Structure 1
Amino acid sequence: MPTLPTTVFDQFTRRTADVTAQLATLGIPLTAPAPPPADLNPADPWASSYTVPVDRSSLAWCTAVTMLTDHHHTGIERQVLAADALLRELGVRGLAQLHSDLYAGAPVDYRFIRCPYCSGIGEDPTQPTCGEVGCAPWLEFAGHDHVCPVCQGDDCQPEWFAEERMAELEELLADAIEEREEHASLRYRTRARLYRRTVRT
C-alpha cells in the first residue's frame, strides 16, 4: 500500500518519482530527443533553429503528462510527445494554457480550482520558499521570483471567495433588474405616445 505524502512538498517529489518510474518501466528516456532542425528561411536571417531541451523528470513535465493522462484516460506513453511539445513551446507557463484547454478553453479561476503545478500553495515548488530566502512580508503583494508561474500566486480558498462572488453576483443581478425595469418603463412610455399619435390621426 503506497504511503501518503506527509507535507504538501512531499507530493511534488512523489509526482516526479511516480512519473519517472513509469518512464523507466516503459523504456522512455528522461530527456526528450531534439526535434529535426527546421529549414533555414532565407527571408529571415535572424531565425534560430535552437530548441529548448525538455527534461522529462522536471516537475512541470510530470505535471503536464499527468494532466493529459488523467484527462484523456490513457497510459503515459500516449501523452509523452504532447507533454514534450507543450513544455518545448510554452515552458512552465504552458501548464496554465493546457489547464484552460482541458476546460474547453474556459478561463480557469485558481481561487476556486486548485493549481495543478503548485497544488494551491501559490509559490513555485522548484524555487526556495519565501521563508527559506527570507523575503519581506510586503513582497507577497509586490510580485517576486517565488510566485507560481501557473496560478500567479492566487490563493485557492473557494469557501472564502464564494461568499465574495455571491455578493458580487447579487449586486450584478440587482443592477440588471433595475436596468430592465427602466427599459420596460421607457418602452411603455414610447408605446403609449405612439398609440396616442395613431389614435389622433
Structure 2
Amino acid sequence: MPTVFDQFTHRTTDVTAQLAALDIPLTTPARPPADLNPADPWASNYTAPVNRSTLAWCTAATMLADHHHTGIDRQVLAADALLRELGVRGLAQLHSDFCAGAPIDYRFTPCPYCSGIGEDPTQPACEEVGCAPWLEFAGHDHPCPVCHGDDYQPQWIAEERMTELEELLADAIEERERRASLRYRIRARLYTGRRAPNGPTGDGTPR
C-alpha cells in the first residue's frame, strides 16, 4: 500500500525521467573558479555542482515549469541557480515571488516541498541538518525547511478566515453608517445655516 512519502519518490522519478528523455545530465558539471573582478559587485564564482535528482531541485523545476507553462527543459538553468544560491529554503522565496512577493500562509496553502505534511520529506539524519547531539536519539521530527512545520488544515483555517471576514465586514458596515450619519448631520447644519438669514421667522413672516 503506497505511503504519503511515495508521492515524493514519484515527483523525483517523473522529473528525472523527463531529463533523461531530453538527454539533460542529472548533475551539472563543476565550473572552473572564475577570477573575481573587485570592481564588479555582481561577479560570482559559484562552482558547486547541482544534483538535479534531488527532491528540492525537482520541486523547483516543477514549480517554475508550471508557473511559466513551459517544459522542464526550459527551467533547468533557473532551478540550478535557485538551488545554488538559496538552497532548499529558496523554494519558499520562489513561492512568494510567484504571488507577487506576498507572504504564503502554509496553514491554508499546501507547501510545494512537503505537500503539507509539515516534515522534511527527505527524512534526513540529524547530522545532516545539524541537530544538537542530545537530540539524535530522541526520535524527534525534522520540520520542513520551507513551511517550517506549519499545520496544513485548510478546513479549519478557512472557517477562521470566514469568521474574521464577517467581523471585518460588520465593522465596515457600522463605520459606514456612522460616517453617513455624521455627514447627514453636517449637511443638515450647513443647510440650516444657509437658509436661516432669509428664511421665515417664527410667525411665518419673512425676515
TM-score under structure 1 normalisation?
A: 0.78
DSSP-derived class of the 2:7 partner: helix
Determine which of 167, 170, 173 is the counterpart of 1:174: 170
**Could you say if the C-alpha distance between residues 198 and 52 of structure 1 is closer, same or farther in structure 2, counting changes exceeding 3 Å?**
farther
TM-score under structure 2 normalisation?
A: 0.76
Indicate the residue corresponding to 2:131 in structure 1: none
Alignment partners' CA distance in 2, 1:113 and 1:175: 27
- What are the Cα deviations for residues 56-91 of structure 1, in whole angstroms up to 9, with x where unaligned? 111110001112223333222111111112222222
Alignment partners' CA distance in 2, 1:51 and 1:180: 60
Alignment partners' CA distance in 2, 1:42 and 1:169: 53
Contact 2:34 2:44 in 1 (8 A): no
Indicate the residue corresponding to 2:107 in structure 1: 111
**Could you say if the C-alpha distance between residues 71 and 127 of structure 1 is closer, same or farther in structure 2, counting changes exceeding 3 Å?**
same
1:1-201 correspondence runs (5 A): 6-34=2-30, 37=34, 39-42=36-39, 49-128=45-124, 133-135=138-140, 146-201=142-197
- Give 1:50 deviation, angstroms: 4.4
Alignment partners' CA distance in 1, 2:173 and 2:35: 58
Q: Which runs of 5+ in 2 are unaligned?
A: 126-134, 198-207
Alignment partners' CA distance in 2, 1:114 and 1:34: 34
Indicate the residue corresponding to 1:142 in structure 2: none
Alignment partners' CA distance in 2, 1:75 and 1:42: 37
- Give 1:14 deviation, angstroms: 1.9
Alignment partners' CA distance in 1, 2:48 and 2:121: 21
DSSP-derived class of the 2:168 partner: helix
Q: Which runs of 5+ in 1 are unaligned?
A: 136-144
Alignment partners' CA distance in 2, 1:80 and 1:59: 14
Task: Give the superposed CA RMSD.
Answer: 2.8
Alignment partners' CA distance in 2, 1:163 and 1:107: 20
- What are the Cα deviations for residues 90-137 of structure 1, in whole angstroms up to 9, with x where unaligned? 22122122223334544433222211100110111123499x8523xx
> Percent identity, aligned pairs only?
74
DSSP-derived class of the 2:9 partner: helix
The structure whose RCO (Cα within 8 Å, separation 6+) is larger is: 1
DSSP-derived class of the 1:79 partner: helix
Q: Give the total of aligned pairs.
A: 185
- Give 1:192 deviation, angstroms: 1.7
Contact 1:51 1:88 in 2 (8 A): no
DSSP-derived class of the 1:122 partner: coil
Q: Which has the larger radius of gyration?
A: 2
